Amino acid sequence: MAAEETTRRTLETDVGTDAVNAKRAGDTGALEADLREGCAGDVRFDEYTRVLYATDGSIYGAQPAGVVFPRDEADVRAAVRVASEHGVPVLPRGAGSSLAGQAVGPGCVVLDLSRHMDEVLEIDADRRRAVVQPGVVQDHLDAALEPHGLKFAPDPASSNRATIGGGIGNNSTGAHSVRYGITDAYVEECEVVLADGSLIRTRDVVLDSPEWERIVEKDDREAAIYRTVRAVVEDNADEIEDRYPELKRSVSGYNLQKVLRTDAEGNRIVNLSKLLVGAEGTLGVVVEAALSLVTRPEETALVVCCYDDLLEALAAVPEALALEASAVELMDDEVFRLAANSAEYAEYVESIPAGTEAALMLEFDDEVFSDLPDAIDTATDELVDGGAAFDAIEAFSSEKRDRLWKLRKAAIPLLMGMDGDPKPYPFVEDASVPPEELAEYVAGFQEILEDHDTTAAYFAHAGAGTLHIRPVLNLKTENDVETMRSIAEDVTSLALEHDGSFSGEHGDGLARTEFNPKLYGPELWDAFKDVKSAFDPDWRMNPGKVVYRDEDGERTDIRDHLRYGADYASLEPRTGLDFDDDGGFSHLVELCNGCGTCRQTEGDVMCPTYRATEEEIATTRGRANLLRAAISGEIGPDELYSDRFQSEVLDLCIGCKGCQSDCPTGVDLAKLKVEVKHQYHDREGVSLRERLFANVDRLAAVGSALAPIANRAPTLPGARTVLERTVGIASERTLPTFQRETLVSWFEKRGGAAASNRRAAEPRADRGSRVDPEAASAGVVLYPDTDTNYSNPDVGRAAVRVLEAAGVHVTVPDLGPTGRAAYSQGLLDRAAADGQALLDDLEPYLERGWSVCFVEPSDAAMVTDEYRSLLDDERVETLAANAYDICEYLDEHRLVEELDVDGENERLTYHGHCHQKARGTDHHAVGVLRRAGYAVDPVDSGCCGMAGSFGYEADHYELSKAVGSLLEDQLAASDGTTVVAPGTSCRTQIGDFDAYDRPTHPVELLAQGLEQ
């Protein structure tokens, strides 16, 4: 309850309650009013919400009428009834990661089932069964099942944010479908809200049994559905037999081939659950599902076989399947190329040998093979020694396996991050054919691409005959929009020639529904319409998906509702930052493809405020969608500089830079936010609080000069209240204190650089001098950041002692700020001035080959990352090449071996700084501490929530604490006895937790070890 209350207060403060939205927007109509009256959950019809829910992970975009966030089944029923009374369509939605436009519905009432209806209701391990609500994220369900040795078999690449309800709607699957099949095999029962708001429970019903008779004798919607479905399946038995392809994956159309079966006793059984799976919300809203489960293998192993020709790799798929692999996946050279150029994935592609045009990745598990090394050896013998592969990579450790799987699962978002407007778009990407025909099918596909003068990337589920092939097009041009339609027509014909399905995984949506009549023929097309009419007589449930009313001229067209169509245009604003490397401001915004990786809540960093609020507006995707709407005129360009946009969209981005590394397409929202804040300040001015935080270095200098009097001032009665009311600094937050003796003055008092050089050169008893005379002029500038210099000089002193003990010549000059504080507030002119001054001061040292070390990670990130777009100065690259976090420097130069530190195996919990994670440098401290003898548990933690000034701001304090509470839970789960963290913001936030004292900096531990 406490956590819920905290989140609620956060939303009221930072996002806006329904009452505030209603007051702002006024009365938006009878539909909204009736929904508010009938539903306990939030109802939002404001412009921002409509933009946020206008897109999914596909190429489509269209604003809904509004969004309802149902709290329970009763809310869903009420919302559907109200929509029915108003004649408005309804669209159920999970994470919005669908790739064919299933979650895009113009004028619909969207039901976001991911917010509240996300519980695992029951786990029956003995029966291998679970009952869930539709909003449960698949990885969360699997985490709950893991202690029982079970899992839900379908495993889409989006499982860390995709919901079970979305998977049911889409009939999802994943890499292991060659062994486990797809979702429809595992959905046993469903509770479903129909288009009139009535509720039915679908389950096995024996035809002509007493139960059957009780159902069909009634005069209601359920009875009509059962009678219609039976008649449709029985009357079209021959067409179903002829038209449905015999594939492990076929998810186009309705599952007429699976709704009726005969059991071992000869009973004919109908289960409407099989029909609802893959129906994309067009037949009803699933509000509860009973799922069958499978056992979880204890061990797996991978082998990646490398080929110098794509078609040769595809030709080897039948051989790979004969080896009884549980997964057979393909990646091509385009995926490898993009990964190599990605900050997040470059390290994962390093093991792929040069010359690899395509690779087959085979997984084996211990439920099939008792000897995994033998299974891998057999695969290598068959595919490399006796086949066309020229090399193989074996992976037995979980770390190596995870790296290869992460590379494979990153393929889709990586491809969408390609430079420029042409992108490999999803619209024919998952046609499925028999695996033995895959090579011939791809050869035919390549001919189609050549005919249309384009190329494609190839990857994914080769073992199931489902390759994700994405033609590269520029959908901002009319010519390429028409080319897309032509390619889709040709690929549909090609799939039919090879007895395939136009969709083997990602469903129909707006992209493929148009072609279902061609795939299934007129009789089954009419059957689909009969089924749709039985469930949904007014055709209001997610209209235009799976089936459409062609007789009424409502034909679904692949070219309709494109997010980027021929009429799309965007503004390219003049910017203070350099966006050339990003392709421009608008291109960086448009890199967001809607995949929803930013909705994940476990692992990585982004998006901290989403994890605390579960608000779409707090995701990178949400903010990018609103930025795109502004620059394209969808909501008007002036809205970008409105107070509302600043407070509800940008201010909730805390600049963690997690999207820089975690967003597969590289949407750097932190950079975009700073630029827009800068332009806002140019138009509207700068607040007092922003000026104070931007000048925190100067304020700290004054505080230090006046210490200890300055430290007592905030403790005076009423002082904190005054600060909150006048400046907006949260009265609950612990404020920094100041030291009279700064780090710089301490260093000078002990003799400065000359004394440091003597200390570094002192020989130890067990070795001679460690300073190379030829390198005596080189050393380290230890940067005295604001916190270290004025508030916590002990950290800087520790760094000096450790560097000297390692034989490093150190100096601590009196330097100004990096500009980080001003940059974070969007005051780019001030930040640039600070940066130029620092470059000037550091130039003599850089010319002599000195390095610059930082104990504060955010300052290190400032000079290595932000300076590149902030300053037009060739010295930036020189500084970036010679700038290090303190532990990064110790690790890169292997200086721990020079230290006489014995950690005595003390157990540490390490929380890395977000900016280090974005730069890929957070592992250095862990390595240094471990080599110094400490047992380190690096917590896979997100942002601490403090984020510099963010956690001090009164209007963000509750949100800061809500984000921090997630970190507190992760720290509590660690088995370390001491918490260490390099970031001063992190140490402040953790120190404010009830259960923790302020942590130490890693370099302080090393210094303490030296003194023992």
Task: Tell me the DSSP string of 590-614.
Answer: HT-----GGG--SSS---HHHHHH-
Could you tell me which residues come within 8 angstroms of residue 357 by beta carbon, excluding any fewer than 6 positions away? 307, 308, 309, 310, 313, 332, 333
Query: Could you list the mean pLDDT of each consecutive 10-residue stretch along the chain, which spans 1012 residues?
Result: 36 38 48 97 97 97 97 98 96 96 97 98 98 98 98 94 97 94 97 98 97 96 98 98 93 97 95 98 98 97 96 96 95 89 81 95 96 97 96 95 87 76 91 95 96 91 92 96 97 96 95 96 97 98 95 85 94 94 94 93 90 96 97 90 94 92 89 96 94 95 95 91 92 93 97 86 52 55 98 97 94 97 97 98 96 98 98 97 97 88 86 93 94 92 92 94 93 90 96 91 93 60
Tokens of 943: 């942002």
Is residue 561 a contact partner of residue 58, using CB atoms and an 8 Å limit? no
Tokens of 685: 């001015």
Tokens of 130: 């679970």
CA dist., res. 329 & res. 189, Å (int): 31
Task: Name residue, tokens 């990605």.
Answer: 342
What would the DSSP string read from start to end of 238-262?
A: HHHHHHS---S---SS--TTTSEEE
Tokens of 201: 């429970």
Task: Name residue, tokens 């690790």.
Answer: 891
Whether the upstream peptide bond of residue 607 has omega within 30° of 0, thus cis, is yes
CA dist., res. 986 & res. 971, Å (int): 12
Whether the upstream peptide bond of residue 714 has omega within 30° of 0, thus cis, is no
Q: 744: helix, coil or strand?
A: helix
CA dist., res. 53 & res. 878, Å (int): 44
Is residue 263 a contact partner of residue 269, using CB atoms and an 8 Å limit? yes
CA dist., res. 4 & res. 116, Å (int): 11
Q: Let me know if 977 is exposed, middle or buried by CB neighbors in 10 A (0-12, 13-18, 19+).
A: exposed
CA dist., res. 203 & res. 271, Å (int): 5
Enter the DSSP assignment of 515: G
CA dist., res. 935 & res. 857, Å (int): 23
Q: How much is the pLDDT for 763?
A: 60
Is residue 443 a contact partner of residue 494, using CB atoms and an 8 Å limit? no
CA dihedral sign of residues 415, 416, 419, 421: positive
Could you tell me which residues come within 8 angstroms of residue 74 by beta carbon, excluding any fewer than 6 positions away? 40
Q: 824: helix, coil or strand?
A: helix
CA dist., res. 690 & res. 674, Å (int): 13
Task: Name residue, tokens 């078609």.
Answer: 311
What would the DSSP string read from start to end of 612-675?
A: HH--GGGSHHHHHHHHHHHHTTSS-GGGGGSHHHIIIIITT-----HHHHHSTT---HHHHHHH
Tokens of 773: 């005379």
Q: How much is the pLDDT for 896?
A: 87
CA dist., res. 1006 & res. 798, Å (int): 8
Pairing mode, strands 780-782 and 851-854: parallel
Q: How much is the pLDDT for 911?
A: 96
Q: How much is the pLDDT for 335?
A: 87
CA dist., res. 504 & res. 486, Å (int): 20
Q: How far is CA 327 from CA 189, 323, 391, 750, 854, in A?
A: 28, 11, 19, 64, 46
Residue-wise burial string across 718-735, b where 16 or more C-beta atoms lie within 10 A, e elsewhere: eebeebbeebbbbeebeb
- Among residues 721, 714, 727, 646, the alpha carbon closest in space to that of 688 is found at 727
CA dist., res. 247 & res. 504, Å (int): 9
Q: How much is the pLDDT for 1011?
A: 66
Enter the DSSP assignment of 557: -
pTM: 0.92
Tokens of 47: 């412009």
Q: How much is the pLDDT for 8?
A: 33
